[in-house]
Amino acid sequence: RPPKRARPDDYDDAPVVRSDKLWLDDGNLVIQAERTQFRVHRSVLSRHSVFFRDLKDIPQPSHSDEATARGCPVIELQDEAEAVEFMLDCIYDTGRALRKPSYKELLLALRMGHKYLVPVLFDNAAKRMHKAFPTELTAWNADDVYNHFDLHDDADGNYFELLSVARAVGLETVMPALCLHYLNDASVTYIAVCRDRQPIDANDVVMLLLGRHQLVFKQTRYTLRWALNEEYGVCETPKKCDRARSRVRDEAFVRLEANEAEVVLDQIHLFAPWTYDDIGLCRLCSKTAQNLHTAGRKELWEVLPSIFGLGSWVNLHDFRIQQDDRDDE
């Protein structure tokens, strides 16, 4: 919706203060968030934000009933002052948006970049999200989310907030890998604790826990099917190979059954590359098992979105700031 026009009778008793960082003497527009004002250049905002470029109802100081500050029209945004300062700072210092963000900065970049259609904010944040939570299994195995931002760097932050933000800004393709990351990193107990202490959506809790159950159940059909007592054909040491497969299978289930609520999925290596060269399989069985494991990983990855109730990879799409919206930047 359009920004609210600031009027004197809207003000409460708290004093309005100027931003120490973003009060530019030659600015011709004042942005107010909460009780903080930022004096900026309308042309700069228009160049970097489709929202401000297309805004037609900016109040003019010639109208006596409109609030002004030093002769500049005042636009009041319904956002926290910290979020607005971050957005404006990145608009004036575009290099900041390119640097590795903290978790909080990533959330702000996604939210504010999406809401006010600021490519320098949204595109860079979305690019980091796509790299951290890819659609391809090879990319998932080759990278680490913490190369792009740190989910744990804000002690008071909501660990699961990124899930709701990604959905809100329309980054559908990152959702399956993001959900998998949470389950690789967080136990059932931790998710339950966060549900009590943080504003994680109840539907997200259900999605994660049901998805976890499905992944654990499907491991025998996909990534661990090589460990079942299937017919392997020619084998150099049948009894030894059968014992080796049974041992791996049993250990996987014992690990879960011992204290399932505390086990994170990363401990059962659902999508990890082959790591069983030294378990005692003969040369022929090892090759067969590795092929089954590789195929199972790929097949399980293909159905990953459906495990979280997200449909299929091909039906997931991402919000983008349209190219024709950028042409006048």
CA distances from 4 to 77, 78, 272 (A): 6, 7, 51
The C-alpha angle 134, 137, 140, rounded to 5 degrees, equals: 55
Output the pLDDT for position 64: 41
Mean pLDDT estimate for the chain: 85
Rounded to whole angstroms, how far apart are CA atoms 124 and 103?
A: 14
Rounded to whole angstroms, how far apart are CA atoms 187 and 209?
A: 10
Asked if 264 contacts 183 with a C-beta cutoff of 8 angstroms, the reply is yes
Measured in degrees and rounded to the nearest 5, phi and psi for residue 78 equal -90, 55
What H or E segment, with its residue span, contains residue 5?
A: strand 4-5
Q: pTM for the whole thing?
A: 0.85
Output the pLDDT for position 144: 73
User: Which of 126-135, 196-205, 231-240, 305-314 has the lowest average pLDDT?
Assistant: 196-205
Cβ-based neighbours of 148, under 8 Å, separated by 6 or more: 100, 128, 129, 131, 132
The domains found in the chain, sorted by start residue, are: 4-79 (3.30.710), 96-213 (no CATH), 214-307 (no CATH)
Q: What is the mean pLDDT of residues 248-275?
A: 75
Rounded to whole angstroms, how far apart are CA atoms 49 and 269?
A: 43
Output the pLDDT for position 63: 46
Output the pLDDT for position 300: 95
Output the pLDDT for position 66: 47
Q: Which residues make beta-bridge pairs with 201?
A: none
Token pair, residue 105, equals 């900065």
Q: What is the DSSP letter of 267?
A: G
Residue-wise pLDDT for 123-137, tens only, equals: 999 999 999 999 999
Q: What is the mean pLDDT of residues 214-231?
A: 83
Rounded to whole angstroms, how far apart are CA atoms 329 and 324?
A: 10
Rounded to whole angstroms, how far apart are CA atoms 242 and 251?
A: 14
